[in-house]
Structure 1
Amino acid sequence: MIFAEAFAWLVDPVNWSGGKSIPVRVGVHLLFCVGAVLGAALIAVPLGLFVGHTGRGGVVLVGGSNALRALPTLGLVTFLYLITGGGTVGVLIALIVLAVPPILAGTYAGIQDVDRGVVDAARGMGMTGTQWLWRVEVPNALPLLIGGLRNAMLQVVATASVAAYVGIETLGRPLLDGVRVLDYAQFVGGAILIALLAVALDAVLAGVGKLVVPAGVRLSARAGRKA
Protein backbone atom coordinates (compact mmCIF):
# COMPACT_ATOMS: atom_id res chain seq x y z
CA MET A 1 0.00 0.00 0.00
CA ILE A 2 1.35 3.38 -0.99
CA PHE A 3 0.74 5.01 2.41
CA ALA A 4 2.60 2.24 4.22
CA GLU A 5 5.52 2.75 1.82
CA ALA A 6 5.35 6.51 2.37
CA PHE A 7 5.44 5.98 6.14
CA ALA A 8 8.47 3.72 5.73
CA TRP A 9 10.17 6.47 3.72
CA LEU A 10 9.33 9.05 6.39
CA VAL A 11 10.83 7.02 9.24
CA ASP A 12 13.87 5.80 7.33
CA PRO A 13 16.94 7.06 9.29
CA VAL A 14 18.72 7.74 6.00
CA ASN A 15 16.26 10.56 5.31
CA TRP A 16 16.88 12.21 8.68
CA SER A 17 20.59 12.97 8.40
CA GLY A 18 22.79 14.99 6.07
CA GLY A 19 22.43 18.24 4.19
CA LYS A 20 19.41 17.03 2.24
CA SER A 21 17.56 15.44 5.14
CA ILE A 22 13.92 15.94 6.07
CA PRO A 23 14.72 18.32 8.99
CA VAL A 24 16.87 20.51 6.73
CA ARG A 25 14.19 20.67 4.05
CA VAL A 26 11.49 21.41 6.60
CA GLY A 27 13.65 24.23 8.00
CA VAL A 28 14.31 25.73 4.56
CA HIS A 29 10.63 25.46 3.63
CA LEU A 30 9.61 27.07 6.92
CA LEU A 31 12.06 29.97 6.50
CA PHE A 32 10.74 30.73 3.02
CA CYS A 33 7.13 30.60 4.23
CA VAL A 34 7.59 32.80 7.29
CA GLY A 35 9.82 35.25 5.40
CA ALA A 36 7.38 35.54 2.51
CA VAL A 37 4.31 36.09 4.69
CA LEU A 38 6.11 38.65 6.87
CA GLY A 39 7.37 40.48 3.79
CA ALA A 40 3.93 40.44 2.21
CA ALA A 41 2.33 41.67 5.44
CA LEU A 42 4.68 44.67 5.55
CA ILE A 43 3.36 45.65 2.12
CA ALA A 44 -0.26 44.54 2.19
CA VAL A 45 -1.40 45.47 5.70
CA PRO A 46 -0.53 49.21 5.53
CA LEU A 47 -1.95 49.42 2.00
CA GLY A 48 -5.15 47.61 3.00
CA LEU A 49 -5.56 49.83 6.06
CA PHE A 50 -5.09 52.98 4.00
CA VAL A 51 -7.53 52.02 1.26
CA GLY A 52 -10.09 50.62 3.68
CA HIS A 53 -9.89 53.64 5.97
CA THR A 54 -9.95 56.34 3.29
CA GLY A 55 -12.09 54.53 0.72
CA ARG A 56 -9.66 55.63 -1.99
CA GLY A 57 -8.44 53.23 -4.65
CA GLY A 58 -10.73 50.33 -3.78
CA VAL A 59 -11.39 49.44 -7.43
CA VAL A 60 -7.69 49.54 -8.27
CA LEU A 61 -6.92 47.47 -5.17
CA VAL A 62 -9.38 44.73 -6.11
CA GLY A 63 -8.25 44.68 -9.74
CA GLY A 64 -4.57 44.58 -8.84
CA SER A 65 -5.13 41.86 -6.26
CA ASN A 66 -6.99 39.70 -8.77
CA ALA A 67 -4.22 40.24 -11.34
CA LEU A 68 -1.60 39.04 -8.85
CA ARG A 69 -3.67 35.94 -8.10
CA ALA A 70 -3.65 35.07 -11.80
CA LEU A 71 0.14 35.01 -12.09
CA PRO A 72 1.54 31.53 -12.92
CA THR A 73 3.43 30.37 -9.86
CA LEU A 74 6.18 28.31 -11.45
CA GLY A 75 6.74 30.88 -14.19
CA LEU A 76 7.02 33.74 -11.70
CA VAL A 77 9.44 31.85 -9.45
CA THR A 78 11.63 30.83 -12.39
CA PHE A 79 11.58 34.32 -13.95
CA LEU A 80 12.55 36.15 -10.75
CA TYR A 81 15.14 33.49 -9.94
CA LEU A 82 16.82 34.10 -13.30
CA ILE A 83 16.70 37.90 -13.37
CA THR A 84 18.12 38.13 -9.82
CA GLY A 85 21.07 35.94 -10.78
CA GLY A 86 19.96 32.82 -8.93
CA GLY A 87 19.94 32.21 -5.21
CA THR A 88 17.08 32.62 -2.80
CA VAL A 89 16.21 36.31 -3.28
CA GLY A 90 14.23 35.85 -6.48
CA VAL A 91 12.26 32.92 -5.03
CA LEU A 92 11.47 34.88 -1.87
CA ILE A 93 10.29 37.88 -3.90
CA ALA A 94 8.03 35.62 -5.97
CA LEU A 95 6.49 34.13 -2.83
CA ILE A 96 5.95 37.59 -1.36
CA VAL A 97 4.15 38.68 -4.54
CA LEU A 98 1.89 35.64 -4.33
CA ALA A 99 1.19 36.18 -0.60
CA VAL A 100 0.18 39.83 -0.96
CA PRO A 101 -3.37 39.35 -2.42
CA PRO A 102 -4.96 37.32 0.42
CA ILE A 103 -3.45 39.57 3.11
CA LEU A 104 -4.49 42.68 1.22
CA ALA A 105 -8.00 41.36 0.70
CA GLY A 106 -8.35 40.34 4.35
CA THR A 107 -7.13 43.69 5.66
CA TYR A 108 -9.29 45.73 3.30
CA ALA A 109 -12.38 43.59 3.93
CA GLY A 110 -11.81 43.77 7.67
CA ILE A 111 -11.80 47.58 7.67
CA GLN A 112 -14.77 47.76 5.33
CA ASP A 113 -16.71 45.30 7.52
CA VAL A 114 -16.52 47.50 10.60
CA ASP A 115 -19.94 48.80 11.62
CA ARG A 116 -20.17 52.37 10.35
CA GLY A 117 -22.26 53.27 13.38
CA VAL A 118 -19.29 52.48 15.61
CA VAL A 119 -17.04 54.67 13.45
CA ASP A 120 -19.57 57.52 13.55
CA ALA A 121 -19.71 57.23 17.33
CA ALA A 122 -15.91 57.52 17.47
CA ARG A 123 -16.09 60.62 15.32
CA GLY A 124 -18.77 62.06 17.59
CA MET A 125 -16.46 61.58 20.58
CA GLY A 126 -13.93 63.83 18.86
CA MET A 127 -11.46 61.18 17.74
CA THR A 128 -9.19 62.03 14.84
CA GLY A 129 -8.99 59.79 11.75
CA THR A 130 -5.81 58.17 13.02
CA GLN A 131 -7.33 57.54 16.44
CA TRP A 132 -10.48 55.85 15.18
CA LEU A 133 -8.40 53.81 12.73
CA TRP A 134 -6.22 52.29 15.46
CA ARG A 135 -8.69 52.26 18.34
CA VAL A 136 -11.86 51.24 16.49
CA GLU A 137 -11.30 49.96 12.97
CA VAL A 138 -8.13 47.88 13.41
CA PRO A 139 -9.31 45.96 16.52
CA ASN A 140 -12.61 45.13 14.80
CA ALA A 141 -10.84 44.20 11.56
CA LEU A 142 -8.41 41.77 13.22
CA PRO A 143 -10.44 38.56 12.63
CA LEU A 144 -10.49 39.08 8.86
CA LEU A 145 -6.92 40.39 8.84
CA ILE A 146 -5.70 37.26 10.66
CA GLY A 147 -7.80 35.20 8.27
CA GLY A 148 -5.95 36.81 5.36
CA LEU A 149 -2.62 35.93 6.97
CA ARG A 150 -3.73 32.33 7.43
CA ASN A 151 -4.86 32.08 3.81
CA ALA A 152 -1.57 33.54 2.64
CA MET A 153 0.44 31.13 4.77
CA LEU A 154 -1.43 28.10 3.44
CA GLN A 155 -0.91 29.28 -0.12
CA VAL A 156 2.80 29.94 0.42
CA VAL A 157 3.37 26.56 2.10
CA ALA A 158 2.05 24.88 -1.03
CA THR A 159 3.72 27.29 -3.45
CA ALA A 160 7.18 27.13 -1.85
CA SER A 161 7.39 23.56 -3.11
CA VAL A 162 8.07 24.82 -6.64
CA ALA A 163 11.36 26.32 -5.43
CA ALA A 164 12.75 22.81 -5.83
CA TYR A 165 12.59 23.33 -9.61
CA VAL A 166 15.36 25.92 -9.31
CA GLY A 167 17.51 23.80 -7.01
CA ILE A 168 16.43 24.98 -3.56
CA GLU A 169 16.04 22.20 -0.99
CA THR A 170 12.46 22.79 0.10
CA LEU A 171 9.89 20.06 0.71
CA GLY A 172 9.17 20.19 -2.99
CA ARG A 173 12.36 18.18 -3.60
CA PRO A 174 10.83 14.82 -2.57
CA LEU A 175 7.91 15.54 -4.91
CA LEU A 176 10.21 16.37 -7.79
CA ASP A 177 12.56 13.45 -7.18
CA GLY A 178 9.68 11.07 -6.62
CA VAL A 179 8.10 11.90 -9.96
CA ARG A 180 11.41 11.77 -11.79
CA VAL A 181 12.35 8.27 -10.61
CA LEU A 182 8.75 7.03 -10.17
CA ASP A 183 9.26 6.68 -6.42
CA TYR A 184 5.69 7.33 -5.33
CA ALA A 185 6.44 6.56 -1.68
CA GLN A 186 8.83 9.51 -1.62
CA PHE A 187 6.30 11.66 -3.48
CA VAL A 188 3.48 10.88 -1.02
CA GLY A 189 5.85 11.26 1.94
CA GLY A 190 6.82 14.74 0.76
CA ALA A 191 3.16 15.66 0.27
CA ILE A 192 2.37 14.50 3.81
CA LEU A 193 5.18 16.66 5.22
CA ILE A 194 3.88 19.71 3.36
CA ALA A 195 0.35 19.07 4.62
CA LEU A 196 1.55 18.65 8.21
CA LEU A 197 3.58 21.86 8.01
CA ALA A 198 0.55 23.72 6.64
CA VAL A 199 -1.67 22.45 9.46
CA ALA A 200 0.94 23.33 12.10
CA LEU A 201 1.45 26.88 10.81
CA ASP A 202 -2.29 27.44 10.49
CA ALA A 203 -2.74 26.29 14.09
CA VAL A 204 -0.04 28.72 15.23
CA LEU A 205 -1.71 31.64 13.45
CA ALA A 206 -5.10 30.62 14.82
CA GLY A 207 -3.58 30.72 18.31
CA VAL A 208 -2.09 34.15 17.62
CA GLY A 209 -5.52 35.29 16.49
CA LYS A 210 -7.07 34.21 19.79
CA LEU A 211 -4.41 36.14 21.67
CA VAL A 212 -4.60 39.43 19.76
CA VAL A 213 -8.28 39.67 18.83
CA PRO A 214 -10.26 41.34 21.65
CA ALA A 215 -12.75 39.00 23.34
CA GLY A 216 -15.66 41.29 22.53
CA VAL A 217 -14.80 41.24 18.83
CA ARG A 218 -14.58 37.43 18.86
CA LEU A 219 -17.99 37.16 20.53
CA SER A 220 -19.48 39.62 18.04
CA ALA A 221 -18.06 37.66 15.10
CA ARG A 222 -19.50 34.40 16.46
CA ALA A 223 -22.90 36.03 16.98
CA GLY A 224 -22.80 37.33 13.40
CA ARG A 225 -22.04 33.86 12.02
CA LYS A 226 -24.89 32.30 14.01
CA ALA A 227 -27.28 34.99 12.80
Structure 2
Amino acid sequence: MFHFLGNVVDWFGNGSHWSGSNGVPSLLLGHVEIVVYSLLIAAVVALPIGLWLGHTGRGGFAAINVTNVGRALPAIAVLILAAQWLGIGRTPALVALTLLSVPPILTNCYTAIRGVAPEDKDAARGIGMTGMQILTRVEIPASIPLIFAGVRTAAVQAVATATLAGFVAYNCLGTLINEGVSANDHTELFAGALLVVALALITEYGLGAVQAAITPAGLRAGAAGRRRGGLRLRAADNPIVDPTAR
Protein backbone atom coordinates (compact mmCIF):
# COMPACT_ATOMS: atom_id res chain seq x y z
CA MET A 1 0.00 0.00 0.00
CA PHE A 2 2.73 2.45 0.97
CA HIS A 3 4.67 1.48 -2.15
CA PHE A 4 1.62 2.29 -4.30
CA LEU A 5 1.11 5.65 -2.57
CA GLY A 6 4.78 6.38 -3.15
CA ASN A 7 4.25 5.71 -6.85
CA VAL A 8 1.34 8.15 -6.87
CA VAL A 9 3.48 10.83 -5.23
CA ASP A 10 6.22 10.17 -7.82
CA TRP A 11 3.63 10.46 -10.60
CA PHE A 12 2.60 13.92 -9.41
CA GLY A 13 6.27 14.87 -9.08
CA ASN A 14 7.05 13.88 -12.66
CA GLY A 15 7.34 17.08 -14.73
CA SER A 16 6.23 15.33 -17.92
CA HIS A 17 2.74 14.95 -16.42
CA TRP A 18 2.43 18.73 -16.05
CA SER A 19 3.18 19.85 -19.59
CA GLY A 20 1.73 19.43 -23.07
CA SER A 21 -1.82 18.84 -24.24
CA ASN A 22 -2.17 15.80 -21.96
CA GLY A 23 -0.59 17.48 -18.95
CA VAL A 24 -2.58 18.01 -15.77
CA PRO A 25 -3.04 21.81 -16.22
CA SER A 26 -4.37 21.39 -19.78
CA LEU A 27 -6.71 18.54 -18.81
CA LEU A 28 -7.90 20.43 -15.72
CA LEU A 29 -8.64 23.50 -17.82
CA GLY A 30 -10.63 21.41 -20.29
CA HIS A 31 -12.55 19.81 -17.44
CA VAL A 32 -13.43 23.12 -15.78
CA GLU A 33 -14.28 24.72 -19.13
CA ILE A 34 -16.85 22.10 -20.15
CA VAL A 35 -18.42 22.17 -16.67
CA VAL A 36 -18.75 25.97 -16.65
CA TYR A 37 -20.20 26.13 -20.16
CA SER A 38 -22.72 23.37 -19.48
CA LEU A 39 -23.82 25.02 -16.22
CA LEU A 40 -24.27 28.41 -17.88
CA ILE A 41 -26.40 26.95 -20.67
CA ALA A 42 -28.42 24.83 -18.22
CA ALA A 43 -29.04 27.85 -15.96
CA VAL A 44 -30.16 30.00 -18.90
CA VAL A 45 -32.65 27.28 -19.86
CA ALA A 46 -33.81 26.05 -16.45
CA LEU A 47 -33.99 29.18 -14.29
CA PRO A 48 -36.58 31.12 -16.34
CA ILE A 49 -38.75 28.00 -16.64
CA GLY A 50 -38.46 27.23 -12.93
CA LEU A 51 -39.23 30.83 -11.96
CA TRP A 52 -42.30 30.99 -14.21
CA LEU A 53 -43.64 27.60 -13.13
CA GLY A 54 -43.05 28.35 -9.47
CA HIS A 55 -44.62 31.81 -9.69
CA THR A 56 -47.73 30.75 -11.62
CA GLY A 57 -48.06 27.22 -10.24
CA ARG A 58 -49.13 26.03 -13.68
CA GLY A 59 -47.78 22.79 -15.07
CA GLY A 60 -45.25 22.48 -12.29
CA PHE A 61 -46.15 18.90 -11.35
CA ALA A 62 -45.72 17.66 -14.93
CA ALA A 63 -42.48 19.59 -15.42
CA ILE A 64 -40.94 18.26 -12.23
CA ASN A 65 -41.90 14.69 -13.17
CA VAL A 66 -40.26 15.13 -16.57
CA THR A 67 -37.07 16.51 -15.00
CA ASN A 68 -37.03 13.67 -12.47
CA VAL A 69 -37.07 11.22 -15.37
CA GLY A 70 -34.08 13.11 -16.76
CA ARG A 71 -32.27 12.74 -13.45
CA ALA A 72 -32.83 8.99 -13.57
CA LEU A 73 -31.07 8.61 -16.94
CA PRO A 74 -27.58 7.08 -16.68
CA ALA A 75 -24.96 9.69 -17.55
CA ILE A 76 -22.96 7.32 -19.72
CA ALA A 77 -26.07 6.46 -21.74
CA VAL A 78 -26.82 10.15 -22.39
CA LEU A 79 -23.21 10.72 -23.42
CA ILE A 80 -23.15 7.77 -25.81
CA LEU A 81 -26.44 8.81 -27.42
CA ALA A 82 -25.09 12.35 -27.87
CA ALA A 83 -21.90 10.96 -29.42
CA GLN A 84 -23.89 8.82 -31.82
CA TRP A 85 -25.83 11.88 -32.92
CA LEU A 86 -23.10 14.55 -32.88
CA GLY A 87 -19.84 12.63 -33.22
CA ILE A 88 -16.97 12.72 -30.75
CA GLY A 89 -15.24 15.61 -29.01
CA ARG A 90 -16.47 18.67 -27.17
CA THR A 91 -20.01 18.96 -28.62
CA PRO A 92 -21.52 15.67 -27.39
CA ALA A 93 -19.88 16.15 -23.99
CA LEU A 94 -21.34 19.66 -23.71
CA VAL A 95 -24.81 18.52 -24.77
CA ALA A 96 -24.82 15.58 -22.34
CA LEU A 97 -23.60 17.64 -19.39
CA THR A 98 -26.14 20.38 -20.12
CA LEU A 99 -29.02 17.90 -20.26
CA LEU A 100 -27.91 16.37 -16.97
CA SER A 101 -27.49 19.78 -15.29
CA VAL A 102 -30.98 21.09 -16.12
CA PRO A 103 -33.04 18.84 -13.77
CA PRO A 104 -31.50 19.82 -10.39
CA ILE A 105 -31.51 23.52 -11.28
CA LEU A 106 -35.11 23.46 -12.52
CA THR A 107 -36.42 21.35 -9.64
CA ASN A 108 -34.79 23.47 -6.93
CA CYS A 109 -35.87 26.72 -8.56
CA TYR A 110 -39.51 25.61 -8.85
CA THR A 111 -39.56 24.20 -5.30
CA ALA A 112 -37.96 27.35 -3.87
CA ILE A 113 -40.43 29.75 -5.48
CA ARG A 114 -43.44 27.61 -4.57
CA GLY A 115 -42.19 27.42 -0.98
CA VAL A 116 -42.33 31.16 -0.34
CA ALA A 117 -44.79 31.87 2.48
CA PRO A 118 -48.28 32.73 1.08
CA GLU A 119 -48.71 35.49 3.66
CA ASP A 120 -45.62 37.24 2.28
CA LYS A 121 -47.08 37.21 -1.21
CA ASP A 122 -50.48 38.32 0.06
CA ALA A 123 -48.87 41.24 1.88
CA ALA A 124 -47.08 42.23 -1.33
CA ARG A 125 -50.34 42.16 -3.26
CA GLY A 126 -51.96 44.17 -0.50
CA ILE A 127 -49.56 47.07 -1.02
CA GLY A 128 -50.19 47.03 -4.76
CA MET A 129 -47.26 45.04 -6.16
CA THR A 130 -47.68 43.52 -9.62
CA GLY A 131 -46.99 39.86 -10.32
CA MET A 132 -43.53 40.66 -11.70
CA GLN A 133 -42.71 42.83 -8.69
CA ILE A 134 -43.77 40.05 -6.32
CA LEU A 135 -41.50 37.63 -8.20
CA THR A 136 -38.45 39.90 -8.28
CA ARG A 137 -38.82 41.61 -4.89
CA VAL A 138 -40.35 38.89 -2.72
CA GLU A 139 -40.12 35.39 -4.18
CA ILE A 140 -36.63 35.43 -5.69
CA PRO A 141 -34.88 37.08 -2.70
CA ALA A 142 -36.54 34.62 -0.32
CA SER A 143 -35.59 31.68 -2.57
CA ILE A 144 -31.96 32.49 -3.34
CA PRO A 145 -30.41 29.88 -0.98
CA LEU A 146 -32.45 26.99 -2.37
CA ILE A 147 -32.12 28.15 -5.98
CA PHE A 148 -28.36 28.38 -5.65
CA ALA A 149 -28.30 25.00 -3.92
CA GLY A 150 -29.65 23.53 -7.16
CA VAL A 151 -26.85 25.17 -9.13
CA ARG A 152 -24.34 23.89 -6.59
CA THR A 153 -25.69 20.34 -6.86
CA ALA A 154 -25.60 20.52 -10.65
CA ALA A 155 -22.02 21.82 -10.57
CA VAL A 156 -20.70 19.00 -8.39
CA GLN A 157 -22.61 16.47 -10.48
CA ALA A 158 -21.17 17.97 -13.67
CA VAL A 159 -17.61 17.80 -12.32
CA ALA A 160 -18.04 14.09 -11.64
CA THR A 161 -19.90 13.36 -14.89
CA ALA A 162 -17.46 15.31 -17.09
CA THR A 163 -14.95 12.56 -16.32
CA LEU A 164 -16.89 10.39 -18.77
CA ALA A 165 -16.20 12.87 -21.57
CA GLY A 166 -12.83 11.18 -21.97
CA PHE A 167 -14.71 8.30 -23.58
CA VAL A 168 -15.69 10.56 -26.50
CA ALA A 169 -12.16 11.90 -27.04
CA TYR A 170 -12.59 15.15 -25.13
CA ASN A 171 -9.45 16.09 -23.21
CA CYS A 172 -10.30 16.37 -19.51
CA LEU A 173 -9.29 14.70 -16.27
CA GLY A 174 -11.19 11.64 -17.46
CA THR A 175 -8.46 11.21 -20.08
CA LEU A 176 -6.04 10.21 -17.32
CA ILE A 177 -8.49 7.61 -16.05
CA ASN A 178 -9.08 6.21 -19.54
CA GLU A 179 -5.35 6.01 -20.22
CA GLY A 180 -4.80 4.34 -16.88
CA VAL A 181 -7.43 1.72 -17.65
CA SER A 182 -6.13 1.12 -21.19
CA ALA A 183 -2.52 0.74 -20.06
CA ASN A 184 -3.44 -1.09 -16.85
CA ASP A 185 -1.58 1.70 -15.06
CA HIS A 186 -3.19 1.83 -11.63
CA THR A 187 -1.02 4.76 -10.58
CA GLU A 188 -2.25 7.02 -13.37
CA LEU A 189 -5.81 5.78 -12.85
CA PHE A 190 -5.66 6.66 -9.15
CA ALA A 191 -4.02 10.03 -9.83
CA GLY A 192 -6.78 10.97 -12.28
CA ALA A 193 -9.50 9.91 -9.85
CA LEU A 194 -7.81 11.86 -7.05
CA LEU A 195 -7.77 15.02 -9.17
CA VAL A 196 -11.49 14.65 -9.94
CA VAL A 197 -12.30 14.17 -6.25
CA ALA A 198 -10.23 17.24 -5.33
CA LEU A 199 -11.98 19.34 -7.98
CA ALA A 200 -15.41 18.14 -6.81
CA LEU A 201 -14.60 19.05 -3.19
CA ILE A 202 -13.29 22.48 -4.20
CA THR A 203 -16.47 23.03 -6.21
CA GLU A 204 -18.71 21.93 -3.35
CA TYR A 205 -17.13 24.04 -0.65
CA GLY A 206 -16.32 26.97 -2.93
CA LEU A 207 -19.91 27.28 -4.12
CA GLY A 208 -21.08 26.71 -0.54
CA ALA A 209 -19.16 29.83 0.46
CA VAL A 210 -20.67 31.76 -2.46
CA GLN A 211 -24.14 30.56 -1.46
CA ALA A 212 -23.62 31.83 2.08
CA ALA A 213 -22.32 35.16 0.77
CA ILE A 214 -25.27 35.83 -1.55
CA THR A 215 -27.93 34.77 0.96
CA PRO A 216 -29.71 37.93 2.18
CA ALA A 217 -28.76 38.95 5.71
CA GLY A 218 -32.35 38.61 6.90
CA LEU A 219 -32.50 34.97 5.83
CA ARG A 220 -29.18 34.22 7.49
CA ALA A 221 -30.37 35.84 10.71
CA GLY A 222 -33.65 33.92 10.55
CA ALA A 223 -31.84 30.61 10.03
CA ALA A 224 -29.54 31.34 12.97
CA GLY A 225 -32.54 32.19 15.14
CA ARG A 226 -34.28 28.96 14.21
CA ARG A 227 -31.14 26.98 15.09
CA ARG A 228 -30.88 28.71 18.48
CA GLY A 229 -34.57 28.14 19.09
CA GLY A 230 -34.13 24.46 18.24
CA LEU A 231 -31.29 24.16 20.73
CA ARG A 232 -33.40 25.80 23.45
CA LEU A 233 -36.30 23.45 22.73
CA ARG A 234 -34.05 20.39 22.86
CA ALA A 235 -32.55 21.57 26.14
CA ALA A 236 -36.03 22.05 27.57
CA ASP A 237 -37.01 18.49 26.62
CA ASN A 238 -34.94 17.13 29.53
CA PRO A 239 -34.94 19.74 32.29
CA ILE A 240 -32.55 19.24 35.17
CA VAL A 241 -34.48 18.70 38.38
CA ASP A 242 -32.94 19.43 41.75
CA PRO A 243 -33.70 16.36 43.88
CA THR A 244 -33.50 18.47 47.07
CA ALA A 245 -36.19 20.86 45.88
CA ARG A 246 -39.58 20.58 47.51
- Tell me if both proteins adopt one fold, taking TM over 0.5 as the criterion: yes
TM-score bracket relative to the smaller structure: over 0.9
Give the counterpart of 1:117 among 119, 122, 128.
119
Match in the other structure for 2:210: 208
Match in the other structure for 1:6: 8
Distance, in Å, in 2 between the alignment partners of 1:87 and 1:179 is 20
Structure 1 residues without counterparts, runs of 5 or longer = none
Distance, in Å, in 1 between the alignment partners of 2:227 and 2:105 is 21
How much does 1:156 deviate? 0.4
CA contact (8 A) 1:119 1:132 kept: yes
How much does 1:68 deviate? 0.4
How much does 1:224 deviate? 4.3
Match in the other structure for 2:94: 92
Give the counterpart of 2:223 among 201, 221, 224.
221
Distance, in Å, in 1 between the alignment partners of 2:22 and 2:6 is 22
Matched residue type, 1:191: A
Structure 2 residues without counterparts, runs of 5 or longer = 231-246
How much does 1:24 deviate? 0.3
Identity over aligned pairs, percent:
38
Give the counterpart of 1:71 among 73, 94, 100.
73
Distance, in Å, in 1 between the alignment partners of 2:99 and 2:226 is 32
Structural mapping, 1:175-194, within 5 Å = 175-194=177-196
Higher gyration radius (CA): 2
| CA deviation vs aligned residue, 1:171-197 (integer Å, no higher than 9, x gap) | 111111212222111111111111111
Worse-matched range after superposition: 215-224 or 111-120 = 215-224
Worse-matched range after superposition: 208-217 or 137-146 = 208-217
Give the superposed CA RMSD: 1.5
How much does 1:135 deviate? 0.3
Matched residue type, 1:173: T
CA contact (8 A) 1:3 1:188 kept: no
CA contact (8 A) 1:81 1:88 kept: no
How much does 1:225 deviate? 5.5
SS in 2 for 1:131: helix
The count of aligned residue pairs is 227
Distance, in Å, in 1 between the alignment partners of 2:203 and 2:104 is 16
| CA deviation vs aligned residue, 1:34-66 (integer Å, no higher than 9, x gap) | 111111111111111111110011211121111
Provide closer, same or farther for how the CA distance between residues 224 and 148 of structure 1 changes in structure 2, counting only shifts above 3 A: farther
CA contact (8 A) 1:107 1:144 kept: yes
Match in the other structure for 2:243: none
TM-score, length basis structure 2: 0.87
Match in the other structure for 2:44: 42
Provide closer, same or farther for how the CA distance between residues 4 and 123 of structure 1 changes in structure 2, counting only shifts above 3 A: farther
Structural mapping, 1:153-164, within 5 Å = 153-164=155-166
TM-score, length basis structure 1: 0.94
